[in-house]
Amino acid sequence: MNFPSNLRYTKDHEWVLLEGNTATIGITEFAQRELGDIVFVDIPTVGKALEAEDVFGTVEAVKTVSDLFLPVAGTINEVNEELEGSPELVNTDPYTDGWMVKMTVNNPADVEKLLTADAYASLVAE
């Protein structure tokens, strides 16, 4: 499986790309494989300030619905509108075209506290 080293990861299987104080967030390749074919992504939290670990949306696969947990505190600014018509992008390209939200992070240093690619790979290998 692919876990890009320029990203940080959570135990809940989200990834974070930090650029300045803006974070792009999605779910990992491991998560999308576990979920199976994704048929719907619902993220009703644009414009909302949320804390780390708050649910910011849900992803629906053929057999299950799973909550999406925010890795760090901040405000959701943008949702990937491509997912509305093409939720399968999360399956085919989870780290680029399949991103879910962009947010302003309250404290960018919090991202550095998340798992590295190696630590995340060890977590999902267990």
Domains of the chain and any CATH numbers: 8-106 (2.40.50.100)
Q: Which two tokens stand for residue 23?
A: 């974070």
Q: Give the pLDDT confidence score for residue 1 in this predicted structure.
A: 84
- Per cent of the chain over pLDDT 90 is 97
CA-based angle 112:114:119, to the nearest 5? 115
pLDDT at 85 over 80: yes
**Separation CA 126–CA 40 (nearest Å):** 29
**Separation CA 96–CA 119 (nearest Å):** 21
**Separation CA 5–CA 46 (nearest Å):** 28
Which residues are CB-neighbours of 10 under 8 A, at least 6 positions away?
16, 69, 71, 114, 115
Q: Across residues 92-100, what is the average pLDDT?
A: 96
Q: Are 92 and 35 in contact (CB under 8 A)?
A: no
- Give the number of residues written for the chain: 126
pLDDT at 105 over 90: yes
